[in-house]
Structure 1
Amino acid sequence: MNKREYRQANKDWLEAKAKEDGVNALSKGVYYKVISEGKNDGRHPTPRSVVTAHYTGWTIDGKKFDSSLGGIPMAFRLNELIEGWIIAIQQMCIGDKWEVYIPAELGYGKFSQPGIPGGSTLIFEIELFSIA
């Protein structure tokens, strides 16, 4: 499959995923499915927050490219992450565990990363542990 076909396959996958039961829309074409709910206390991270989370990332073909599982949860300043994470995590509460679907344009775009071809829709399972 050439690069154009790969990008189109990723867009088609995300379009189909968006229509599935239980999949919710966020801004700019980011989607998510709730795996489990946390505190739901109305407290959400801001872009300047430092968040602690466990995560695993896949491409649409099921290839895992990164994971924090098996170690300690990772701490990040939210505004230093890809735009798709910033959009999704700002809507999460502590204890939420979501599967998040991020279009390529809000991930790494046309640029390849280790284990991630350019144009990839990104799938992340994210569990939010803390907000500072």
Structure 2
Amino acid sequence: MKKQEYAKVNKEWLLEKAKEEGVREIPGGIYYKVLKEGLGDGRHPSRRSIVTAHYTGRTINGKKFDSSLGGAPLAVRLCDLIDGWIIAMQQMCVGDKWEVYIPAEKGYGKFSQPGIPGGSTLIFEIELLGIA
């Protein structure tokens, strides 16, 4: 599949996903589905917060490209991650577990990464474990 066609298929997939029951939109054209409610205490990470999270990343064909499960959770300053994570995680509370659908423009854009072709919509299952 050509790059332009692949990017188009990914955009169409995201538009269809957005119509599913339980899928909500946040800024940046990012969508998510709540898998588990957390504390709901109104405390959210900021861009400068250090977040601790478990995650699994997949492309729309279901191919897993990364995961922290089975190992140590990710602990990183939020602003050091892709835009899609920064935007989504600022909406989350500790204990929330979401499936997040990130358009390519808020992920890696037209650039390929190991296991991720350029133009990919990214699917992440993210559980926010802590905010520092």
Same fold (TM over 0.5): yes
5+ residue gaps in structure 1?
none
Q: Tell me if 1:16 matches 2:20.
A: no
The aligned amino acid for 2:24 is N
Aligned partner letter, 1:70: G
Residue identity opposite 1:16 in structure 2:
E
Instruction: Please tell me whether residue 44 in structure 1 is matched to residue 29 in structure 2.
Output: no
Secondary structure at 1:108 match in 2: coil
Give 1:49-128 correspondences, 5 Å limit. Answer: 49-128=49-128
Question: How far apart, CA to CA, are the structure 1 residues paired with 2:30 and 2:56?
Answer: 17
Secondary structure, aligned partner of 1:6: helix
1:17-56 deviations in Å (ceiling 9; x for gaps): 0010000000010000000000000000000000000000
Counterpart secondary structure, 2:28: helix
Deviations 1:86-124 (A, max 9, x none): 000000000000000000000000000000000000000
- Overall identity of the aligned pairs, in %: 73
CA RMSD for the aligned pairs?
0.4
Give every structure 1 segment of 4 or more consecutive aligned residues whose post-TM-superposition deviation is greater than 4 Å.
none
Q: Aligned partners of 2:58, 2:67: CA distance in 1, in Å?
A: 9
How far the C-alpha of 1:74 sits from its partner, in A, is 1.0
SS in 2 for 1:86: helix
Q: Deviations over 1:38-82 (max 9, x none)?
A: 000000000000000000000000000000000111101000000
TM superposition score normalised by structure 2:
0.99
| Cα distance in 2, alignment partners of residues 29 and 56 from structure 1 | 20
